[in-house]
Amino acid sequence: MTISTDAPYGPCGVSNGVLTPTKMRIFLVQTAQGLTPSSGGYKANVNLLRQLRLFGHDAAQICYGFEDEVEKYAELARAKGVEPNVTHHSGLPVIDSKGNQHELDVKTFMDEHGIHNIVISRVPFNEAYPTREFWQDTQDYLEDRSITQRMQTLIDIFSKHITAYRPSHVVFNDPVTMKVTADHAMRPTFKRINVIHTAEQLPFGPYCNGILGHCSSPKVEDQLLRELEGIWVVSKAIGDYAWQHGRLKTTFLVHSPLTYLDARTGGMPVQRYNIDKFEVGMVNPCPHKGLSILLKLAKRLPQIQFVTWSSWGSRSKHLDQLKELPNMKVMPTTSNTDEIWDRIKVLLAPSVWLEAWGVVVTEAQLRGIPVIASNAGGLKEAKIDLPYCLPVNVVTGAKHENGDYIVPEQNIDLWEEAVLRLMTCQQNYDRVARATAQGSVKWLNSLDPRAHEKWFLGMMTA
């Protein structure tokens, strides 16, 4: 698949079956930190904007970033003939819980894709808004209690830029934006879409607030969710969970195809044939992503080399356990996933929580790299019936005192067998690698690149 703008119709709406020109203005609020984070949810969100830009719509995002990231992206824009028009609004005073003042900077620029970026400086933000305190500030705001000065500053930033951009749609996955847009003076002029990337975002069910920072006020968030024009779930598994536990109607759409295409060429990723490699890889090792399975495998198979890349869920204590193993290498977070695909022979995705999809699984499979994944949540869908998809005992929602999910005991016999079959039998590896590459390309080519555009436009004519 190569995304083309030569479609049978231009950007349009549908009214009584008649196509009518409509240009949308999409405003996205990102919660993942950095302009190049490793989060699959961030990749999916920003590639939705890029996809819509290809079809002639306007797009903007508000996000968090480092100083050097803005300069890097501005240079990339200039190299592509796009004037970034960098602006700098410095010195917004923010008072933390101890009375210390921090200076919050906000920069804006146009990137190479024509997306307008509003970037809140990441370092002072994290200093002024510690996760636990921000969770409490969010709860107070949602429940109409007293609002801290720092929360009011953030509300004002969001509101100001939404007003200035005059969007047709606001897309988000956080409760603060959900309430900011509900109360906004221009509320009747735009549609609101919440992207559900994790079950923990939802204000009901066993996983409600399963991760620190999610769902601080379930009752209020449940009410706000039901007032939205759109709730996008990225897997049937998350949609089923939302209906089963909350009778919440959602719309299932696979990530935008651009999420998985080569960022430079816009075409299919380069397929590897890593039969000569010798490492089994995993990204984001942490308890709910299957850390216990990885540790057991590495101990049972000392003759096999493993390598991991830390990500948003990996804490020092998790990485320390891995570093104790002689056949385990621990790598820092990377935004350049080619480093991973050029190195590993097999990818492990042994999640034991309700995985929303598993972007990394699809990325690996499109490159012809066999993936041994669990059947937890949307991973079964991401596997698209390719080998191997193995059973696990998923978390129930119960947690340790430190906030980690209590992970049930796992039988790793099938995991051990799958690793050995792929790592020691060239004939089996060849068969699985070729089937993986062919099946993934066929699947991606079957997706409608305009599915999200049609859904958004449909909201405008409903």
pLDDT 10s digits, 39-48: 777 888 999 9
Tokens of 434: 């070729």
pLDDT, one tens digit per residue, over 132-186 is 999 999 999 999 999 999 999 999 999 999 999 999 999 999 999 999 999 999 9
- The least confident of 27-36, 99-108, 199-208, 370-379 is 27-36
Contact 341, 277 (CB under 8 A): no
pLDDT of 214 reads 86
The alpha carbon of 138 is separated from its chain's Cα centroid by a whole number of angstroms, namely: 21
Long-range contact pairs involving 171-174 (C-beta distance under 8 Å, separation at least 24): 171/26, 171/27, 171/28, 171/29, 171/45, 171/48, 171/195, 172/28, 172/29, 173/29, 173/31, 173/41, 173/45, 173/197, 173/201, 174/29, 174/31
pLDDT of residue 336: 86
pLDDT of residue 403: 81
pLDDT at 18 over 80: no
Gap between the Cα atoms of 423 and 305, Å rounded: 10
What is the DSSP secondary structure assignment for residue 202, as one 8-state letter?
S
CA angle centred on 447, ends 443 and 450, rounded to 5°: 165
Residue 33 — very low, low, confident or very high, per pLDDT cuts 50/70/90?
confident
Kindly indicate the confidence band of residue 66, based on its pLDDT and cuts at 50, 70 and 90: confident
High-pLDDT (> 90) share of the chain, %: 82
Show the tokens assigned to 341. Answer: 């695909």
Whether residue 88 has pLDDT greater than 80: yes
Distances in Å between the Cα of 144 and the Cα atoms of 149, 150, 173, 376 are 14, 15, 20, 37
Cross-strand partners of 192: 170
| Cα angle value 454/354/261 (rounded, 5°) | 45
